[in-house]
Structure 1
């Protein structure tokens, strides 16, 4: 039995072991001083109080041993108890500093749930985190190139490592994440960046098939692979950029309005919505007026694979149509 208890004691964390030893010594010396000097230390609690004050080298002087045995006990307590007590506080401080350093350097596990995981550090992820950090959304950043948390004051939990590795994703508690954003690696060429994004997507879906994944894809050839890997939404960065360049060539002054619109959309929500009973059978103008009363702006109607932006009033909304709208009822990942 003693051997079993000793093994269990050794397996305890170092900080807890030191605390237990120190507490035991203080209680023993408190009991001992009470037994040898009951007049000066009427209760065991008085003895324990004296032992704590003596071991911590505070020395209030309200209780003082008068006999030779009591003073020898005080000397032994100072040599042994003070050493253990100092060791405890030093270990406690070291553990706190180590934990903080681990958090800053990206080595601490994330224990929360319903969080947004952003993979890759670049200007796009920086803008995303900067916008969402003002809300109550919990954000976790995974990147292997950073040496420390780039946004420590924005309530962002940072994990250093390759996001396509299971141990890194489990460290990020990916099984409890609400949504994942995978950005293209700016240190790789476009094809390699897309392949890396798809492998990361496969790793994420393998651990959490239900989590929504938004993936940035740079090359047209990898779009189908991203869909097969389970991407819920695909951001075609190069296609969007090329379209802006082409439109700016044919329409002078078009870039600034488009940039302003994109900035405004950061605080709102652009999405497809199914037709409601109030809009079915109505033309674009009628549906537009109704949705305005619901604080929603109707931009166009999608019929099958064809999108009609600001169509003529002759087009009516049918049951299978999707409405392209802008709404300020923006919901963060994990919100209800």
Structure 2
């Protein structure tokens, strides 16, 4: 029969601290049992022998059990020579494994195993602000940050860092996108607008390809790529080029420090926009009547969403229909 090194190969595949632990345990068990057989008067039970072996190889040396015969002392010397080095190697390997694990976490190489989390693509000032807002609104919500440019984790509470390109399956699997609640794709600040949008759409395709039911919000910088983002399956498209220009123009026209008002749109301030279905009691009523009823509930009616059409601040006589959704500003 031909020889095989299968057993040796399988043994060497184990992490070194596992292998050293097994060797140390075998030394302790074997020598503990031998000493109890050689000196039964000094070591009445096998447990006493094992206790002596542990104390001896760990160099603690309590002295409560001591071999009395030459044979027993010879066995002790053999155990010390065989075991002390392995025990030292054991503690060194455990320390090394702990440090290696810590470095892996900092460098974004540790897989995320949680569920119902938010996957955040790209690290920039917008992403930082979103993390702050989400931690205020949902302090226990886990966030998995995927970024290729960061060298190490930003070390923010409830933020798990994965270093890698989000278009690769390996990276997305590390972020556990199959069990994620949503994904937010921010535009790459290191590219021009056209290339950044193409990159965002490619990431969107990767996410939807792996998890078609994942709710995806994507930031788009150019009008030309808006339709492509929609075709790629984006659930929400944030046209930052329009939002920014509209806010800037509104500030210019008002000329009265509207920026402080814009900050109140942050969910972390306690206010947020919500889209809610129409209650049966409101069907057939006018925009004015519904507005009054919502004001009593400390909500402001902003507009109506009817299918793909959105009407902001419609005429007061605008009639509410059954399939409409209400856009409200509430806290």
| TM-score category of the 2 structures, normalised to the smaller one | over 0.9
**1:211 counterpart residue number:** 214
Q: Does 1:82 align with 2:84?
A: yes
**1:23 counterpart residue number:** 25
Q: Structure 2 vs 1, CA of residues 65 and 145 (structure 1 numbering), >3 Å: closer, same or farther? A: same
Q: Structure 2 vs 1, CA of residues 65 and 234 (structure 1 numbering), >3 Å: closer, same or farther? A: same
Give 1:276's match in structure 2, choosing from 266, 279, 282: 279
The aligned runs of 1:1-336 (5 Å cut-off) are 8-134=10-136, 135-150=139-154, 152-253=155-256, 255-263=258-266, 267-303=270-306, 307-328=310-331
Which deviations, in whole Å up to 9, do the C-alpha atoms of 1:45-68 show, x marking residues without a partner?
Answer: 111111000000000000011111
Greater CA drift, 134-143 or 280-289: 280-289
CA distance in 2, matches of 1:133, 1:264: 10
CA distance in 1, matches of 2:237, 2:80: 68
Q: Look up the SS of the partner of 1:62 in the other structure.
A: coil
Which deviations, in whole Å up to 9, do the C-alpha atoms of 1:88-141 show, x marking residues without a partner?
Answer: 111111111100110011111111111100000011100111222341101100
8 Å contact kept, 2:35–2:75: yes
Q: Structure 2 vs 1, CA of residues 173 and 304 (structure 1 numbering), >3 Å: closer, same or farther? A: closer
Which deviations, in whole Å up to 9, do the C-alpha atoms of 1:70-100 show, x marking residues without a partner?
Answer: 1111111111111111111111111111001
Query: Structure 2 stretches of 5 or more lacking a match?
Result: none
CA distance in 1, matches of 2:309, 2:214: 29
CA distance in 2, matches of 1:25, 1:212: 55
CA distance in 1, matches of 2:268, 2:311: 20
Greater CA drift, 14-23 or 217-226: 14-23
Quote the RMSD (CA, aligned, Å). 2.1
CA distance in 1, matches of 2:314, 2:249: 23
8 Å contact kept, 1:247–1:254: no
Report how far residue 202 of structure 1 moved.
0.4
Greater CA drift, 66-75 or 116-125: 66-75
Query: Structure 1 stretches of 5 or more lacking a match?
Result: 329-336
Q: Structure 2 vs 1, CA of residues 204 and 304 (structure 1 numbering), >3 Å: closer, same or farther? A: closer
Which deviations, in whole Å up to 9, do the C-alpha atoms of 1:238-286 show, x marking residues without a partner?
Answer: 1111111222232211523542332357644313333211211111232
Greater CA drift, 313-322 or 289-298: 289-298
Report how far residue 216 of structure 1 moved.
0.3
